[in-house]
Structure 1
């Protein structure tokens, strides 16, 4: 069974706990009780697959920031909630998003922005649907508007997010298969006259390997070989894997696949 840890964040009073309880327990309470932390386990059946969801309802209060950050660090996917009748909670979305990216140290994270409380009178709305969509597009996130009170789009939050998470997981697996070789060792001496310098490469992205200064850096340029008495540069095109490349008296030898 696939396991996914989902963290739900947002300003106090936006309806985070109500969303989770409606999803997990099919229950809604009109009484507001500030949350320190709540954990829920839920088995989701989606597209003939089973997912064990561990849902963490985090505190909205600033004083619990360290605790919340720890949950973010271990989370796989994220829900950021704001209230459509509170402009301040909407403005906080970007700060929460930035915090998640900083902690996870990654850009490609499954995140859905949720505008809650669409059951209110339209006159009380402070954040338009278009504003929400534009922010989500700007931050490269999923977006949905919901009502925890009326159970509108609540399940869709989680199914949409889990689908996105699963898709990203599959992409990672595909990437891993294509890049079956990993950079295990760069064995370069400090002198250019060394008879053998071996490198093992793995990435479907382009790399530029320079023996000068023993450096390895990414390059967007096309594949070719350049070598001189002072520098050996190897540029590998996307989807080309090389087991080992040896430098012997200025000659490149033993590529396992052709390099143009």
Structure 2
């Protein structure tokens, strides 16, 4: 019988980048055609990653901007983060940088399991404002995983949440690697 582990993940990003659409596509396989701003919603889903079963709780947040003050509920008891921007919005890319900085500061500059997601990758190249390489470089600078997705086309929606669980385990298991203890 697989071990069941609990993980709580927060989805953050600028308004209208597709946070709720990603969550709905992952949870129930549906795409929401209409935009209805989210206040805050919580979803749960059981997910197998490797040999373990995870009870994943997703907190889908209202859109943030660079001036948003992040509540403590976004840092306390949270295992990992999915930071989402739209590849068609340079503003949303700038906001996600600001959100990462605020999380990093509020968590006491500790390592954070993060998956950076460039959403709306299905839209035309002419409407793209953030290149794939820019997203990848940003994620690399954070030591985070980078993925591009399309909630509409169900592209990478499962992969995003599998990756964040893997990142949580990777960060948790690597925290003690650089420390050593000498007994005298």
Could you say which structure has the larger radius of gyration? 1
Residue-by-residue CA offset, 1:216-242 (whole Å, 9 max, x unaligned): xxxxxxxxxxxxxxxxxxxxxx442x3
Q: Provide TM-score, normalisation by structure 2.
A: 0.90
Q: Provide TM-score, normalisation by structure 1.
A: 0.65
Q: CA deviation at 1:66?
A: 5.2
Q: Distance in 2 between matches of 1:134 and 1:44?
A: 29
Q: Distance in 1 between matches of 2:172 and 2:142?
A: 20
Q: Report the counterpart of residue 43 of structure 1 in structure 2.
A: 46
Residue-by-residue CA offset, 1:80-99 (whole Å, 9 max, x unaligned): 00000001001111100011
Q: Report the counterpart of residue 25 of structure 2 in structure 1.
A: 22
Q: Report the counterpart of residue 8 of structure 2 in structure 1.
A: 5
Q: SS of the residue aligned with 2:76?
A: helix
Residues 1:161 and 2:177 aligned together? no
Unaligned residue ranges in structure 2 (runs of 5+) = none
The counterpart of 2:94, out of the listed 91, 95, 98, is: 91
The counterpart of 1:133, out of the listed 131, 136, 156, is: 136
Task: Check 1:66–1:73 CA distance in 2 against 1; reply closer, same or farther (3 A cut).
Answer: farther
Q: SS of the residue aligned with 2:59?
A: strand
Task: Check 1:61–1:134 CA distance in 2 against 1; reply closer, same or farther (3 A cut).
Answer: closer
Residue-by-residue CA offset, 1:25-74 (whole Å, 9 max, x unaligned): 11101100101100011111111101111100011145x94574422333
Unaligned residue ranges in structure 1 (runs of 5+) = 179-203, 206-237, 243-254, 256-260
Q: Report the counterpart of residue 36 of structure 2 in structure 1.
A: 33
Task: Check 1:65–1:73 CA distance in 2 against 1; reply closer, same or farther (3 A cut).
Answer: farther
